[in-house]
């Protein structure tokens, strides 16, 4: 929806008043100052979705399912795409999108290109439009499936890093979750470019059916994987995505290589906290699905204690349990609620190590100090969302790091 179209609405309600909702309000007050603007947020009123009929238009936050909105609506994402100029690179995927978006932005910014990192990982999309930009500006946007569920536009370059089941509690099924991601491709034009990870069969299928130019990841990097500051096969793939995009902008190989090598890893993503009492602690709190935890285990291997569990969203933990037994991980911490399901799968595969159910991160870290074999790793990578015990994955990871350091002096 363009600003001109937006100005035809007089009574507008913003649904959800978090970071994006506040950015939306600022955008409206600047670009449509005569509108009557209301705020409806569940933290202010549990009946916030009632009486919407008094408004002409709603602007919905991504966390609210579209089925709950009973009047015409748009989103901050659609407002951004309708009104931004310049080149837009959209990055999405079940995992890897934050690191990949950050890598792309870092490599592009290491030249004289005007790159802006926005969306989930950076500045809210609508806030970015208040900062002066030009037709040569490159917006690197991290996009979640929530934002894609009702998107009406596409980036000029779409990057999909991975595709496996996630967010089923919001979307309702794997098919609807995949469908939200696929919305991006359905909006693409013939001159747009789809960059994708060829490891995923469904992405290969989408590449064959889209009208856009399909471009699988370039497999050859301008650096050796050992030179990357991020570890694991999945992060090598993320570097391939960034390299592929950088080559589309005709950057030199040496420039791309220097950009990759100078990247600072994001927190809570296989982040090494430190080595204490011969145990090396890794915070991988971002890994909230079995697939991403398997990737973390493959990246590190020498794991003495693994911390698992959180909100139970019905994930299939069988392959992860099988890997834990194969890798001979001797100690597993289990947080509720999914910890019980993980324990059943571990027993199914004959796990013979120590299990430690707990609700308390301090107890979990104390257990790790007592049980983790010397010269091995303690890994927090829970394979489940954080919301059973923690506000988000950042809080979970921060608590882990806090207790690792505090208890190291005991």
Domain end (from 219, 237, 261): 261
Distance CA 281, CA 148 (A): 35
Q: In sequence order, which residues have a C-beta less than 8 Å from that of residue 391 and are 6 or more positions away?
A: none
CA-based nearest residue to 102, from 356, 286, 327:
286
What is this structure's pTM? Answer: 0.90
Q: Do residue 64 and residue 112 come from a single domain?
A: no
Tell me the CATH number at 388: 3.90.190.20
Q: Into how many domains does the chain fold?
A: 3
> What span, in angstroms and rounded, lies between the C-alpha atoms of 132 and 130?
6
> Maximum distance among all alpha carbons in the chain?
68
Residue after which a domain boundary falls, among 233, 261, 289: 261
**CB 90 within 8 Å of CB 159:** yes
**46-65 per-position pLDDT tens digit:** 999 999 999 999 999 988 98
pLDDT in tens, 161-207: 998 866 556 556 778 888 888 988 999 999 999 999 999 999 999 99
Helices H, strands E: what count in the chain?
A: 16, 16
Written as one string, the DSSP assignment of 118-134 is: EETTSB-HHHHTTS---
Q: Is 309 helix (H, G, I), strand (E, B) or coil?
A: coil
Residue 228 has pLDDT above 70, yes or no: yes
Choice between 406 and 174, residue whose per-residue pLDDT is larger: 406
What's 327's DSSP letter?
A: T
Nearest to 307 by CA among 341, 335, 327, 273: 335
What domain range includes position 137?
84-261
Nearest Cα to Cα of residue 268 among 121, 400, 387: 400
Q: What is the pLDDT of residue 120?
A: 86
Q: Percentage of the chain surpassing pLDDT 90? A: 87
Per residue in 311-335, pLDDT tens?
998 899 999 999 999 999 999 999 9
Query: What number is the average pLDDT over the span 137-157?
Result: 94
Identify the CATH number of the domain in which residue 201 sits.
3.40.1190.10
- The reply to whether 95 and 244 lie within a common domain is yes
In the prediction, which pLDDT does 319 show?
97
Q: What is the pLDDT of residue 146?
A: 87
What's the burial of 382, exposed, middle or buried (CB within 10 Å: 0-12/13-18/19+)? buried
pLDDT score of 333: 98
- Tokens for 355, please give them: 């299990």
Mean of the pLDDT values across residues 11-29?
A: 95
pLDDT of residue 121: 85
Query: What ranges in 226-373 are assigned the alpha helix state H?
Result: 233-248, 253-261, 290-300, 318-326, 339-348, 361-371
In Å, how far are 5, 62, 142, 161, 333 from 182, measured between CA atoms? 27, 17, 15, 13, 36
Q: Average pLDDT, stretch 97-116? A: 95
**Which among 399, 401, 366, 364 has a CA at the least distance from the CA of 281?**
401
pLDDT of residue 234: 93
Q: 170 and 50 in one domain?
A: no
| One domain, residues 225 and 126 | yes
For residue 22, give the CATH number of its domain.
3.40.50.720
- Confidence band (pLDDT; 50, 70, 90) for 288? very high
Say if residue 225's pLDDT is above 90.
yes
Residue-wise pLDDT for 344-363, tens only, equals 999 999 999 999 999 999 99
- The fraction of the chain above a pLDDT of 70, given in percent, is 98
The pLDDT of residue 178: 86
pLDDT at 108 (0 to 100): 97
């Amino acid at each position: 929806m363009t600003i001109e179209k937006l100005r035809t609405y007089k009574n507008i309600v913003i649904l959800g008043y978090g970071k994006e909702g506040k950015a939306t309000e600022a955008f409206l007050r600047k670009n449509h100052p005569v509108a009557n603007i209301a705020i409806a947020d569940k933290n202010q009123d549990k009946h916030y979705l009632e009486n919407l009929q008094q408004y002409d238009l709603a602007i919905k936050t991504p966390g609210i399912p579209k089925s709950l909105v009973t009047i015409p609506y748009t989103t901050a994402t659609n407002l951004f795409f309708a009104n931004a100029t310049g080149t837009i690179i959209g990055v999405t995927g079940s995992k890897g999108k934050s690191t990949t978006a950050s890598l792309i932005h870092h490599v592009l910014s290491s030249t004289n290109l005007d790159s802006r990192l926005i969306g989930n990982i950076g500045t809210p999309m609508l806030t970015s439009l208040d900062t002066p930009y030009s037709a040569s500006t490159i917006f690197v946007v991290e996009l979640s499936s929530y934002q894609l569920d009702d998107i009406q536009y596409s980036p000029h370059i779409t990057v999909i890093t991975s595709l496996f089941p996630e967010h089923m509690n919001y979307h309702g099924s794997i098919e609807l979750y995949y469908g939200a991601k696929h919305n991006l491709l359905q909006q693409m034009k013939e001159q747009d470019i789809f960059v994708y990870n060829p490891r995923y069969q469904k992405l290969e299928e989408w590449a064959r059916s889209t009208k856009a130019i399909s471009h699988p990841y370039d497999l050859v990097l301008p650096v050796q994987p050992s030179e990357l500051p991020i570890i694991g096969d999945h992060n090598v793939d993320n570097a391939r995505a960034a390299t592929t995009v950088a080559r589309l902008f005709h950057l030199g190989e040496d420039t791309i290589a220097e950009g990759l090598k100078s990247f600072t890893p994001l927190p809570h993503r296989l982040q090494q906290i430190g080595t204490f009492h011969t145990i090396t602690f890794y915070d991988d709190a971002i890994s909230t699905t079995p697939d991403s935890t398997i990737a973390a285990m493959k990246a590190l291997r020498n794991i003495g204690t693994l911390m698992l569990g959180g909100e139970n969203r019905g994930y299939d933990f069988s392959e992860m349990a099988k890997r834990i037994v194969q890798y001979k991980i001797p100690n597993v911490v289990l947080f509720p609620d999914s910890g019980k399901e993980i324990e059943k799968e571990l027993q199914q595969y004959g796990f013979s190590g120590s299990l430690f159910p707990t609700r308390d991160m301090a107890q979990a870290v104390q257990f790790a100090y007592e049980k983790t074999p010397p010269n091995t790793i303690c890994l927090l990578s829970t394979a489940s969302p954080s919301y059973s015990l923690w506000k988000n994955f950042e809080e979970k990871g921060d608590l882990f790091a806090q207790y690792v350091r505090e208890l190291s002096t005991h």
